[in-house]
Structure formats: structure tokens, C-alpha cells
Chains A and B, each alone.
Chain A
Amino acid sequence: MEGLVYIALFAPFASSLFAALFGMSERKIFVGVVASVLLAISFVASAMLAFYVYGTGHAVHVTMMDWINAGDLRIPFGFVVDQVSVTMMTVVTLVSTIVHIYSIGYMDHDKSFNRFFSYLSAFVFSMMVLVMSDNFAGLFIGWEGVGVCSWLLVGFWYHKPDVSREENPSISPSWAANEAFIMNRIADLGMLIGLFILYWNVGSLQYDEVFAAVPFLDGTVLNAAALALFIGAMGKSAQFPLHTWLTDAMEGPTPVSALIHAATMVTAGVFLVIRANPLFSLTPEVSYFIAALGTFVAFFAASMALVNRDLKRIIAFSTLSQLGYMFAAAGLGAYWIALFHLAAHAFFKALLFLGAGNVMHAMHDELDIFKMGGLKKVMKWTYLYMGIASLALAGIPFFAGFFSKDAIIETAWNEGTIVLWAILVVTAGMTAFYSFRQVFLTFEGDERYKQYGIHPHEMYRYVLIAMSPLAVLAVVAGFGMEGFEHFVTKLLPDYHMSEHTHHIAWILGLVVLVFAVGGIALAYKKYYHGLKRDEKLENSWYYKLLANQYYIPVLYEEFISKPYAMISDAMWNKVDMKIVDATVDGIAKFLYKTGDETRKMQTGNLSNYLNWMAVGAVLFLVVAAISAAAIG
């Protein structure tokens, strides 16, 4: 089993190194193929491990080597494959494999084809380190690794110039990459503090030791640690108020959005909360805060998705919204439901993004859904895939999202948090509306793209075939819910609905369904037969508020970025140049000047030298005499 663990972990690494060998040369198809095969090997190994863990119920724990041994601090490179990490591994490697194959088709015109695969595989490796590590330090390394890879991949087309915010809300790929990276750094500080608090109080960063020790810790310490860790999770999972980077990260190539900014990396925050559940279940206040924030973000992001015109941004908002759902579940103590939604969401959201990538490929990088319409004639398969994914996202019965999202909403009811429940239900309706608004505007109605002179075409066949496993999973994943519960609750705390909730579960489900179907029906009515623009609505203040993301990016720029730049400028010009630099320069100038002055001593005349020597000797004598007198 140990071998399988290493294969699963290091196959993506090997793939990354292999692709990096050809990083600077022109496109070579075999690089993509080799990378995909290695990822597939990693997936097979993960799946075998999943079967092993499922069959035996034992976790596989390996320690590769010692990493840090300093005083009392012992951190090994250890990896644990238990129910939670094996779920993540399987999901990550499966989606990664598909995205790798997809990228061969999607990136085929890009001159940095090989470099792309190198980054993408490096990301998968980092993600595997993140989920498999048996200690917080390893998790943090993976955490930073995925951050770096995300930065590399969001800024993949770094040569694009900056444009104004009106023209493109995310300004440029390099701007978006930096924004994502910096926002994550802010959150990572919180995470680091959390790790320090835990280490300070427990004396170890190994999961099992930490979780064994947390019940004996002081409440304040626990709250502080949980909150600090959650701040880290907020950054990685783009929760309010650190959410703006996620939509801007859509500047990256679409496979990146599908893999990193939908299926895997952004769920790392949820994974952290699930992984650290012994800690979070001891801090009900922090957990409630997580649930409340998650619910708020679910609603908040969905509201922005309602009016957005950018295909990828709509999906990014929906990712944000679904992450909110996951946090709501995790915060309410239903960790396994959160993990289940994470997995189901990974499948259908990756599918949705890859579908959007097909559309983008067909439309020559046009993303405005107002300029699309009627694409079903040329993109039948993509329509089918995106339709399935949207049905799953909207929570229509028997698709994957139905089971997982319903369980989360049910949990909110079961916990008696009626307000959260109500918001989540309304959000479910909004989700259905914006998903189908997007699908209908893209694929149905009048063919608006013709007036822009675009000739769309369907994606390559092998790409469509590669996407099919995701489509199948988006349909059937929900039926594995009971088995999944049985599987992961060996490790995670089991969460059951109360008897009462159980009785009225069908009513709750019906309410959600009414909202979801209502949302779809509204979208159908408004957008199925083509786009009729409503000037009055589009000029209303609330439409503008939503379309401008509540003006939050602008606020951040005005009240954080600009003052910060001003302070930095002042620090540079006033403090650094006038004080620090001036001091250093002053010392140098003084030495220069003394040198210039004393050079005159060197007349070349021995007699003068002897005189100076005598002066020096007398000076020393005087100093010696004074100090002798002072001491004596």
C-alpha cells in the first residue's frame, strides 16, 4: 500500500518535471499525453487506495523521512491516507486527469503548451501534498504550493496588457494573479498564527497529537486557534471579505478555472475545516460564525451571479456560492455532508467550466453571454454537458447536487437555524435561475453571435469523450450518498437528522425544489426565446449594484489599495530616501571627506611622516595616561 501512496503522490510531480524539460520549446503533443497518463496513474493509485481504505477501514500512514528536527520540534514528511484524504485524492486526481486531457485540446493553439502542463501537474502535486499530509506543516506547504501554482496559472497569459476596470473587471491576467496571491497571503498569515497557537499549546503539529490534545485546552486558546485557521480557509476558499480574487482569477485559461478555481484548490479551505473537525466541534461560536458566513456568502455570491454577463464569472460566482454552502454545512457540524457536497460539486462544477471552455473556444474567447445564443445547433454535446451540470447545480432531483445541497439545507433546519435555512432555500432558487439564465442565453434563442462575425464550432471529439466521466458523475454521484456517509463517518463525526426533521424531510425537499424549479421557470420565461433587454431594469440602482459586485472591488481599490500605495510611496520617498538612505549615504560621504582631507598628510617626505608618527604616539600616550588615571 505504501508504494501506491507514493505513486499517487509523485506521479503528478514526475509529470510536472517531465513537462518542465520542454517548457521553453514549442508545442509537443506528447508532453500533454505523458502528463495525462501520469495523472491517470495517480488517479488509479488513489482509487485503489480508496478501495483498500473502504474495504479494510484502516488508514494507511507512511512516513517518508524526517523533515525538520530541531529541539522539541519534530516534523516528518508523513502522509496519511484515511477516509477523508482518500476522498479528496480521488476527486482531485480524477478531475485533474480529465482537465489534463481536456487541456490538450483546449490549449492546442497556445505556444506555451508545454509550460502549461508543467504548471498544471505541479498544482496537482501540491494539492496532493495538501490533502495527504499527516501534519499541519505539510498541509501548509501544500497550501502555499497550490497558491504559487494558482498564481502561475492565473497569470499564464501574463503578456496581456492592463486595461481599465470598465473594459475588463479583472484588469489583466497578471493583475488578477497578483491579486489572488496577495489576498491569499493575507489569509495565510491568519493560518500561520493558528498553527503557531496550536504548536505553542500542544507542542506538535501532527494531526493525531493535536486532535488528541485539543479537548484539554483552554476555551480561549481553542477559539483563537479555530478562528485563525478559519481566516486561512477564508482566503483559500474566497469567502467574504476576501472573495474578490476568485472571479478575477477567471483570467486564467479555462481548464485552470475548472481544476483550481472550482473543483480543488478553493475547496482546500473546506477541507481544512473538515480535517480539523475535532477542533472546530469544540468551538461552537466559531463554528456558528463559519455557518453564518458561509450562508451569507452563498446568498451574496448568488445575487451577483444573477446579473453578470460573463460566462466564466457567473460560474465563478456560483462556485463561491457553493463554497458558502459547504462552509454552512461544516459550520453546523455536518462535516461529512460538507465533504460530500465538495466532491459532488467538484464533478459538476468542473464539467460546467469545461463546457464554458468549449463555448469560449468556439466563440474565439468571447465570454459575453449577451453576444451568444442559439449555440445548441453547433454545440450539441456541450449543451448537453452544461445542461446536466446546471441541473446538478440547481439541485434538480436525482442529479448529484440535489442530494448534497438538500442535505445541507436540511441540516440548517435540523439545527434550528431557521434564518440560515431560509437564506439557503432562497439561494437555491437564485442558483437555479442564474444557471439556466446562462445556459439559455448561451445555447437557446436567437443567434446573436452572427452579427459579430463569429463562426462557432464544436470541440474536438476526444475532449468531449474525456468530459463524459464528469457528466456521468454529475448525474449519478448522489446515489452514492449513503455509502459515502457510511465510509467517511468512520473518521468524521456522524451527523443525523433528528426524528422530527426526518419526518418532514420531504416537505423541506419540496420547498427547495419549488424554489429551484421556480428559478428555472423564470429563466425559461425570460431568456429561452432570446434576449430581450430591459433598459429600465438594467439602469436600476440594484441591478447596477449587483453588476458592479456591490462596488466592493472599487471600494477595495479606493480604501485599501490606493491608501496603501500612498503610504508606500511616502515611506519610500520620505522615510527610506530621506532617513535610511540619507544616513547610509552620510556615513559614506563622511568617510570620503575624511579621506580627501587626510590625504594631504601624504607628502612623500619622510620627515613629515615621522612628525605625524610622533603625534600619534603622543596621542596614544595621552589616552593611556587618561585611562590609567580614570581606572586608577
Chain B
Amino acid sequence: MIGLSHYLIVSAILFSIGLMGVLRRRNLLMLFFATEVMLNAVNIAFAAISHYYNDLTGQMFAFFIIAIAASEVAVGLGILIVLYKKHGSLDLDDLATMRG
């Protein structure tokens, strides 16, 4: 039987993968994917807990997150395209122009 803890474990694993991606990746596009993975890890946790408590609020939150993530991606990808046009690369090491 698949219970709540399984879902949460999957969610945690996905979150960790996403986090590792955020930490290790150098390509901005990949960073975006990694954040999407993290967001969806949270969505899984929300949906699972919502089901477990029989409370729809969690699932509602998941929908909200999906909607916001979609709009974020739309804006983010726009910025990425501009960046790429300007620099010809999406590698963060190449984009480090604001040295403190």
C-alpha cells in the first residue's frame, strides 16, 4: 500500500534533486528546470497531505503554485532570450559582470 510517507519521500527526493540542480548547474536554463523540479516536489507534498487530511486547501495551493510557476516561466524565459541575445551564452560564469 502506498501511504503518505511514500509521497513525502518522493517529494523530498525530488526537492533534493532540484536543490542540487540549483547549486551545481551553471546553465541558467537548467537552473530554471531545477527550480521547476523543486516547485513540483512541493506540489506533490501539498497534494499528498491534502488527500491525507481530506482537506482541499492543499490541492488548491498546488494549483496556485502551478499557475504562478507557469507565469514565472513565461517571464523568466523571456528574460533568458534577451540575455542570450545579448551575451550569446547562458552560462552563469560568463554572466558574472557584477563583481563586488
Chain A residues in the interface with B (C-beta under 8 A): 599, 601-607, 610-611, 614
CA–CA, A601 and B99, complex, Å: 10
User: Could you list 29 examples of A-B contacts with CB < 8 Å?
Assistant: A599-B100, A601-B100, A602-B100, A603-B96, A603-B99, A603-B100, A604-B96, A604-B97, A604-B98, A604-B99, A604-B100, A605-B93, A605-B96, A606-B28, A606-B92, A606-B95, A606-B96, A607-B23, A607-B25, A607-B26, A607-B92, A607-B93, A610-B22, A610-B23, A610-B31, A611-B23, A614-B19, A614-B22, A614-B23
Contact with A along B14-32 (1 / 0, CB 8 A): 0000010011011010010
Contact with A along B56-78 (1 / 0, CB 8 A): 00000000000000000000000
Q: What is the total of A-B residue contacts with beta carbons within 8 Å?
A: 31
B92 neighbours in A (Cβ, 8 Å): 605-607
A605 neighbours in B (Cβ, 8 Å): 92-93, 96
A610 neighbours in B (Cβ, 8 Å): 22-23, 31
Chain B, 22-63, CB within 8 A of any chain A CB: 22-23, 25-26, 28, 31
Closest residue on chain B to residue A618 by CB atoms: B19
| A599, A603, A610, A611 — most chain B CB neighbours (10 Å) | A610
B19 neighbours in A (Cβ, 8 Å): 614
A601 neighbours in B (Cβ, 8 Å): 100
B22 neighbours in A (Cβ, 8 Å): 610, 614
Chain B residues in the interface with A (C-beta under 8 A): 19, 22-23, 25-26, 28, 31, 92-93, 95-100
A604 neighbours in B (Cβ, 8 Å): 96-100
B99 neighbours in A (Cβ, 8 Å): 602-604
Top 10 A-B pairs, shortest CB-CB distance: A602-B100, A604-B99, A605-B96, A604-B98, A604-B96, A607-B92, A606-B92, A610-B22, A611-B23, A614-B23
CA–CA, A611 and B20, complex, Å: 10
CA–CA, A611 and B99, complex, Å: 16
| B25, B28, B100 — most chain A CB neighbours (10 Å) | B100
- 12 extra interface residue pairs, beta carbon distance < 8 Å, beyond A599-B100, A601-B100, A604-B98: A602-B100, A603-B99, A603-B100, A604-B96, A605-B93, A606-B95, A606-B96, A607-B26, A607-B92, A610-B22, A610-B23, A614-B22
CA–CA, A603 and B93, complex, Å: 10
A606 neighbours in B (Cβ, 8 Å): 28, 92, 95-96
CA–CA, A599 and B99, complex, Å: 10
A599 neighbours in B (Cβ, 8 Å): 100
CA–CA, A604 and B19, complex, Å: 20
Closest residue on chain A to residue B27 by CB atoms: A607
A584 to chain B, nearest CB (A): 28
B97 neighbours in A (Cβ, 8 Å): 604
B98 neighbours in A (Cβ, 8 Å): 604
A341 to chain B, nearest CB (A): 83
A614 neighbours in B (Cβ, 8 Å): 19, 22-23
B24 to chain A, nearest CB (A): 8
B76 to chain A, nearest CB (A): 13
Closest residue on chain B to residue A605 by CB atoms: B96
CA–CA, A614 and B20, complex, Å: 10
A607 neighbours in B (Cβ, 8 Å): 23, 25-26, 92-93
A603 neighbours in B (Cβ, 8 Å): 96, 99-100
A630 to chain B, nearest CB (A): 24
CA–CA, A599 and B19, complex, Å: 25
B31 neighbours in A (Cβ, 8 Å): 610
Closest residue on chain A to residue B93 by CB atoms: A605
A536 to chain B, nearest CB (A): 89
B32 to chain A, nearest CB (A): 12
| A599, A602, A604, A611 — most chain B CB neighbours (10 Å) | A604
Closest residue on chain A to residue B100 by CB atoms: A602
B95 to chain A, nearest CB (A): 7
B54 to chain A, nearest CB (A): 26
CA–CA, A160 and B99, complex, Å: 63
B26 neighbours in A (Cβ, 8 Å): 607
A615 to chain B, nearest CB (A): 10
CA–CA, A604 and B99, complex, Å: 4
Closest residue on chain B to residue A600 by CB atoms: B100
B96 neighbours in A (Cβ, 8 Å): 603-606
Closest residue on chain A to residue B22 by CB atoms: A610
A614 to chain B, nearest CB (A): 6
CA–CA, A611 and B95, complex, Å: 16
A600 to chain B, nearest CB (A): 8
CA–CA, A604 and B26, complex, Å: 14
A369 to chain B, nearest CB (A): 81
B42 to chain A, nearest CB (A): 14
CA–CA, A614 and B34, complex, Å: 14
Closest residue on chain B to residue A615 by CB atoms: B23
B93 neighbours in A (Cβ, 8 Å): 605, 607
CA–CA, A57 and B88, complex, Å: 106
A595 to chain B, nearest CB (A): 11
A594 to chain B, nearest CB (A): 15
A625 to chain B, nearest CB (A): 15
A611 neighbours in B (Cβ, 8 Å): 23
A424 to chain B, nearest CB (A): 87
Closest residue on chain A to residue B35 by CB atoms: A610
CA–CA, A611 and B31, complex, Å: 12
A18 to chain B, nearest CB (A): 65
CA–CA, A611 and B23, complex, Å: 5
CA–CA, A311 and B99, complex, Å: 81
B100 neighbours in A (Cβ, 8 Å): 599, 601-604
CA–CA, A606 and B28, complex, Å: 9
Closest residue on chain B to residue A599 by CB atoms: B100
B23 neighbours in A (Cβ, 8 Å): 607, 610-611, 614
A621 to chain B, nearest CB (A): 12
Closest residue on chain B to residue A610 by CB atoms: B22
B27 to chain A, nearest CB (A): 10
CA–CA, A610 and B92, complex, Å: 11
Closest residue on chain B to residue A617 by CB atoms: B19
CA–CA, A603 and B99, complex, Å: 5
A607 to chain B, nearest CB (A): 5
B90 to chain A, nearest CB (A): 11
B8 to chain A, nearest CB (A): 16
A354 to chain B, nearest CB (A): 78
CA–CA, A599 and B100, complex, Å: 7
| A601, A602, A606, A611 — most chain B CB neighbours (10 Å) | A606
CA–CA, A276 and B52, complex, Å: 87
A478 to chain B, nearest CB (A): 91
| A602, A604, A607 — most chain B CB neighbours (10 Å) | A607
CA–CA, A113 and B30, complex, Å: 87
